Structure 1
Amino acid sequence: MRRMTFDERRAALIDAAIRVIARDGLAAATTRAIVGEADMPQGALFYIFSSRESLISAVIEEITSAERLGALLSVELIDSDAGLAEVLTAAMDSYVRLLESDPRRELALLEVATHAMRHDPEAGRRQWEVYRSAVADALGFIADTMSLRWRMPTDELAHMVTSSLDGLTLSWLTDHDSDAARRHIAVLASTFAAMAVPIDGMGRIGSEGREQ
């Protein structure tokens, strides 16, 4: 049997940790439980990670990176003739599809976030800053690509978008009603699209927006 590389072992341990946390909760995610889930010896975990806390940090990074990649790719691959509401719908739909494909990831992230809110609020804030930064990057990319400006600072709009997606996430994890989630997305896309104005080739705001 082929020996796993360092990166393969790291990925396997992160995935095992996600499964344990999503299924049994963070408190149950001991190093013994995680290596058992990964079918590895205990020493393998400490060869890859310096501590359990380091592994949990990697879990957060893995989940948020996957969500950020999904959102940004959907924006980059959208039809160039699409309107802003269509672009926003595609980006948010990408997030829902990621949620549908592997809800355990979001359950694990929520479990870790709840723990951080109680025991390490600063870590919790950093976790949500990753979300907002990713959304702000996507909004900036949209603005540049579609020659528009947002009516408010991008970081403020990103806060609104992530707050809306948080509510959608909790609702979907409760009822798994994807049709309702996509109706929610349609409303959000129209609402956020109204917060943008076009600019001309000289960088001036067009007739639909006010001069800045």
Structure 2
Amino acid sequence: MNKTIRHQIFSRWREENPFPTTELEYTSPFELLIAVILSAQATDVGVNKATRKLYPIANTPETILQLGLEGLKSYVKTIGLYNAKAENIIKTCQILMDQYSSQVPDTREALEALPGVGRKTANVVLNTAFRQPAMAVDTHIFRVANRTRIAPGKNVLEVEKKLLRFIPKEFLMDAHHWMILHGRYVCTARKPKCGSCMIEDLCEYKEKTDI
């Protein structure tokens, strides 16, 4: 895929949705961090249902620590892997209090050092909370990058690096959200909706459907 086609693809996505954002609900970098930790192998809808009850009660490192591990679990028990996630969140809250004055750090190294925070989570926080041009490659982005041939790669890191290199700079800040939304609602895993896709004529996927 050449530079001109990539530019056209992202231009269309921007025209349709000029201000894309995550579907996770949050009002602070800390709330976003906790939501992203909870979202691993879970849906944004499921995470939002839990945090709508949790955040009015506890939405800072201090207040979550006051809940305690069992108290936190009672709010997140509907989410997959909640035991491990709750333990990581408690540890992360303690580190944020001890080392960062309860603020979420804005560097990859500091974020990835937090329990429960991997490269993808760090990239989401850097991009969404701190508006840094980071690319969090989840299953949706990995699929869209490979199917369309925007940035094909054999693994997540290869796709991430190619996307950062190939996406025109003017689109880089919001590209993460456009690609996730496209993968979630149009370029779906089992059967992509090619017939109703706004970039079908630009996409290089060979097994297109007429849906």
TM normalised by structure 1 equals 0.29
Q: TM-score, normalised by structure 2?
A: 0.29
Of Structure 1 and Structure 2, the greater helix share is in 1
